[in-house]
Copies of this chain bind each other. A is one copy, B any other.
Amino acid sequence: MTKKNAFYAQSGGVTAVINATACGLIETARKHKDVIAKVYAGRNGIIGALTEDLIDTSKESARAIAALRHTPSGAFGSCRYKLKSVEEDRAQYERLIEVFKAHNIGYFFYNGGGDSQDTSNKVSQISKKMGYPIQCIGIPKTVDNDLPVTDNCPGFGSVAKYVAVSIREAGFDVASMAKTSTKVFVMEVMGRHAGWIAAAGGLAAENKGDAPHIIIFPEVAFDRKAFMLKVKQSVADYGYCAIVVSEGAHYADGTFLADAGNTDAFGHKQLGGVAPVLAQMVKDETGFKYHWAVADYLQRSARHIASKTDVEQAYAVGKAAVELAIAGETAVMPTIVRSSNKPYRWKIGSTKLSRVANVEKMMPKSFISKDGFGITQKCRDYLAPLIKGEDYPPYKNGLPQYVTLKNVAVAKKLSDEFIP
């Protein structure tokens, strides 16, 4: 086997544990220097490959790489940049291969969501056609938990834990104030099309009357009347009402409850602000005093309350990606396979990228309660293991100690500039 370098890039929205994946990948690659010479990372994701802006991770100490395991965000920079289709812009793909060839890169590891798996798959195909076959391994990552085949997506478990812990804590708070003050609390969480994150809030409600009392999913068209009835009933029964709402909450005609009007590079609408809209709606109809929170990036960067299960799985897919490459695989993605629910047991499997690319896994209907405002036992059984365990980062002076890498650039070998 010829010794080649590997390329690794982080893609799309970062998470509390994507660096744990990087850690697993780099630590494992370092154990196989006979096969993988060096791991180069793309500065700001795939853009780093297109612009030949590579980071030499071999310049980082073992200690720094180990610290990635407990550091949120994307240590090498990520990007929201979707490669066009091969038909539209073949030059981009050719440029990638050209850069990989120049740096003797034989392994392409792409850590992201559905779009990224699609890109990995295409790079694999084109590299073969161009006579410089690259082994392409996609690595799952998305807080939205919307990749198919894999039991769950690294990054999701930690957001799920953050959301469940937060609504439990806020619920306790509101319960103690409700007599004379706030009666309705609305917490907005991420999840454009799939309600996985919102559903995770439901884990906090273990006993009758526990917060949250209402969950608003993007899978269920918002029914204002039913919602108001439920709010009033909750206040009547428990003195207060705690609500988790997905940013993707929408009316039957598809209009989002809150629509900021902006779109990102993938053409997705930039949402935010459904919580204040909903809170005001409740105030107008019921007069109840409200408070609302929008967790936004706090939820996906909250490494301080990461799920141990999630951290372990994130590390494991990074490790498995290298092992798949060494085994000669290409156009595959390591997956998490659930072998048992109680006790929760999982192992690493793999799937073809063609089965994953651009497929969005929605919540099964059987996961949402009949009234559309809660989760079922089946959903709880699925979600519960994913938030299990704590994995605290080290602290100094009261603050978590996260690593910032040196990110030393690899000397460029190509003379021409490429503007993506």
Q: Is B165 touching A399 in the complex (CB atoms < 8 A)?
A: yes
Distance to closest chain B CB from A13 (angstroms): 7
Q: Is B392 touching A74 in the complex (CB atoms < 8 A)?
A: no
Q: Which one of B265, B276, B399 lies within 8 Å of A273 (CB-CB)?
A: B276
Distance to closest chain B CB from A165 (angstroms): 5
Q: Is A172 touching B301 in the complex (CB atoms < 8 A)?
A: yes
What's the tally of chain A residues with a CB closer than 8 Å to chain B? 77
> Is A292 part of the binding interface, using a Cβ–Cβ cutoff of 8 Å?
yes
Distance to closest chain B CB from A8 (angstroms): 14
**Residue from A10, A76, A262, A397 having most chain B Cβ neighbours under 10 A:** A397
Q: Is B300 touching A72 in the complex (CB atoms < 8 A)?
A: no
Q: A305 to B400: give the CA distance in the assembly, Å.
A: 11
Distance to closest chain B CB from A76 (angstroms): 8
Q: Which chain B residues border A297 with CB–CB below 8 Å?
A: 169-170, 173-174, 182, 185, 291, 293
Interface residues of A in 266-305 (CB under 8 A from B): 270, 272-273, 275-276, 289, 291-298, 300-305
Q: A203 to B397: give the CA distance in the assembly, Å.
A: 10
> Is A180 part of the binding interface, using a Cβ–Cβ cutoff of 8 Å?
yes
Q: Is B13 touching A72 in the complex (CB atoms < 8 A)?
A: no
**Residue from A73, A80, A206 having most chain B Cβ neighbours under 10 A:** A73
Q: Which chain B residues border A289 with CB–CB below 8 Å?
A: 262, 264, 270
Q: Which one of B168, B294, B384, B387 lies within 8 Å of A402 (CB-CB)?
A: B168
Q: Which one of B181, B294, B303 lies within 8 Å of A169 (CB-CB)?
A: B303
Q: Which chain B residues border A10 with CB–CB below 8 Å?
A: 176
Q: Which chain B residues border A170 with CB–CB below 8 Å?
A: 296-298, 301
Q: A338 to B41: give the CA distance in the assembly, Å.
A: 48
Q: Which chain B residues border A304 with CB–CB below 8 Å?
A: 165, 169, 305
Q: Which chain B residues border A313 with CB–CB below 8 Å?
A: none
Q: Is B73 touching A172 in the complex (CB atoms < 8 A)?
A: yes
Instruction: Provide the main secondary structure of the chain A interface.
Output: mixed
> Is A231 part of the binding interface, using a Cβ–Cβ cutoff of 8 Å?
no
Q: Is A164 touching B303 in the complex (CB atoms < 8 A)?
A: no
Given A388-B398, A398-B203 in contact, is the A14-B176 Cβ separation under 8 Å? yes
Q: Is A307 touching B387 in the complex (CB atoms < 8 A)?
A: no
Distance to closest chain B CB from A377 (angstroms): 14
> Is A175 part of the binding interface, using a Cβ–Cβ cutoff of 8 Å?
yes
Q: A185 to B265: give the CA distance in the assembly, Å.
A: 18
> Is A81 part of the binding interface, using a Cβ–Cβ cutoff of 8 Å?
yes
Q: Is A73 touching B173 in the complex (CB atoms < 8 A)?
A: yes
**A207 — nearest CB in chain B belongs to which residue?**
B404
Q: Which chain B residues border A179 with CB–CB below 8 Å?
A: 44, 47, 77, 79
Distance to closest chain B CB from A16 (angstroms): 8
> Is A78 part of the binding interface, using a Cβ–Cβ cutoff of 8 Å?
yes
Q: Is B301 touching A173 in the complex (CB atoms < 8 A)?
A: yes
Q: Which one of B76, B177, B206 lies within 8 Å of A80 (CB-CB)?
A: B177
Q: Is B392 touching A398 in the complex (CB atoms < 8 A)?
A: no
Q: Is B387 touching A177 in the complex (CB atoms < 8 A)?
A: no
A77-B177, A292-B296, A294-B294 given; name 9 further pairs at CB < 8 Å. Answer: A47-B179, A73-B173, A80-B180, A165-B400, A170-B296, A172-B301, A270-B289, A390-B392, A390-B398
